[in-house]
Amino acid sequence: MKKCLCTILALVLMLSCVCLPASAVEIVESDGNQPVARATSRFTIDVKANSSMRASTSFPMEVGEVITIKASYAPFSASVDVGLVGPNGRFHYVTVTDGSINLAIKITERGKYTFAVRNNSAFGINVSGYVNY
């Protein structure tokens, strides 16, 4: 009786291990047509004096979503506009003058957005950080 019970328990254990599905999960949100993965992008850019730079890629956003930008730049004395260029071409920015960038931008218009930095100073700067979207 004991051997029979042990054999049955061993078979149940083996079958339960074989029957469990294994899968990987990627968290995505949908833009209505195809799934769009949300991500964090790291950047390091040099911006010349009195000029601006845009990221080479844009990302689709929905109304109400929030993009956060955390970065720093040097030299700290520069005046820098940091933000997003919206689908209408308008630059939504915040002016920073202390070398530290920590902002959140809530999306009010659906479309593709591009990260951008404008250096308002008479000398070049180096900016590095993260954009979460």
Provide the pLDDT for residue 15.
Answer: 52
Specify whether the CB–CB gap between 68 and 131 falls below 8 A.
yes
* Cβ-based neighbour number of residue 56 at 10 Å: 7
Provide the pLDDT for residue 2.
Answer: 76
Give the architecture-level CATH label for domain 29-132.
Answer: Sandwich (2.60)
Average pLDDT, the chain: 81
Percent of the chain clearing pLDDT 70 (strictly above): 75
Instruction: Please provide the DSSP assignment of 68-113 as one string.
Output: EEEEEEESTT--EEEEEE-TTS-EEEEEE-SSEEEEEEE--S-EEE
Provide the pLDDT for residue 41.
Answer: 83
Q: Which amino acid is residue 36, in one-letter code?
A: V
Provide the pLDDT for residue 13.
Answer: 56
If one compares 9 and 106, the residue with the highest pLDDT of the two is 106
- pLDDT tens figures, 83-122: 999 999 999 999 999 999 999 999 999 999 999 999 999 9
